[in-house]
Structure 1
């Protein structure tokens, strides 16, 4: 197992992982991610913000990072965090708690960059995801209503209830 930046050649696999995640979200009655354009994913890859866990040449888990998230975190966003977005697991690898590997990686990555927090969010009142993230060390800060979602992906515009999680380093 290794964790590394995604390559442009991974973009079709990432799209397939997002498709599988959307299918699971529909099945479980969760907030459903929009279809992300390939150009959007490739832009994140070029910026070094798409990451993957690779096992035997296959992407087992994928996520994106950013260092600014004002529309979600508001005044708490003080250039002191690594934010994790769109964390998803390959259906063939589900149940292996890759969240624990991502958290360890994110803590080390954030420390290297001089950050104080690792943060993430999820939409709606998804008790299973709340349990999943808190079991991996995140503190659940509560559910907050987003007020300005105009430049966020579509699922943020459809669901204003946002669960915030942070890990203080």
Structure 2
């Protein structure tokens, strides 16, 4: 298993993972991510914020990071965290607890940058994801109601209730 930045050559595989994630979200009656267009993803890749896990030559998991997230975290965003978004796992590799590898990687990445926390969120009251993230060491901070979602992707505008999680570096 190897963690590294995504490259433009990963675009098709990333889009396939997002399609699979949207299908799973719809099947489970969760908030469904919108389709993310290629220029949007290419920009994240160019900014070196789109990451992947490769196992046996297959892109098995990907996620995006940001270094600021005031629309979700409000006053808690004090330039002291790495924020994880859109964790997505290949359907054939689900159940391998890649969240543990992501958490270990993110804590090390945050420490290198002098950040105190790794944070993530999920929309709605998804108790399965609450258990998943807390099992990986994150503290569930509760559910907040987002008030200004204009700068966020569409799915945040569809569901204002957001579960917040953090882990200390």
TM-score bracket, normalised by the shorter chain, equals over 0.9
Partner of 1:56: 56
Question: How far apart, in 1, do the equivalents of 2:23 and 2:91 lie?
Answer: 10
Partner of 2:97: 97
Partner of 1:132: 132
TM-score, structure 1 length as denominator?
0.99
Q: Which runs of 5+ in 1 are unaligned?
A: none
Q: Offset at 1:46?
A: 0.3
Q: Deviations over 1:82-134 (max 9, x none)?
A: 00000010001001000000000000010011100000000000000000000
Question: How far apart, in 2, do the equivalents of 1:77 and 1:43 lie?
Answer: 23
Q: Offset at 1:151?
A: 1.4
Partner of 2:112: 112
Q: Offset at 1:57?
A: 1.2
Q: Deviations over 1:120-151 (max 9, x none)?
A: 00000000000000000000000000000011
Question: How far apart, in 2, do the equivalents of 1:52 and 1:14 lie?
Answer: 9
Equivalent residues in 2 for 1:78-89 (5 A)? 78-89=78-89
Q: Offset at 1:28?
A: 0.6
Question: How far apart, in 1, do the equivalents of 2:151 and 2:12 lie?
Answer: 24
TM-score, structure 2 length as denominator?
0.99
Partner of 2:149: 149
Question: How far apart, in 1, do the equivalents of 2:12 and 2:41 lie?
Answer: 9
For the aligned residues, what is the CA RMSD? 0.5
Q: Offset at 1:27?
A: 0.6
Question: How far apart, in 2, do the equivalents of 1:86 and 1:101 lie?
Answer: 15
Asked if 1:34 is matched to 2:34, the reply is yes
Q: Give SS of 2:114's match.
A: coil
Say how many residue pairs are matched: 169
Q: Offset at 1:12?
A: 1.0
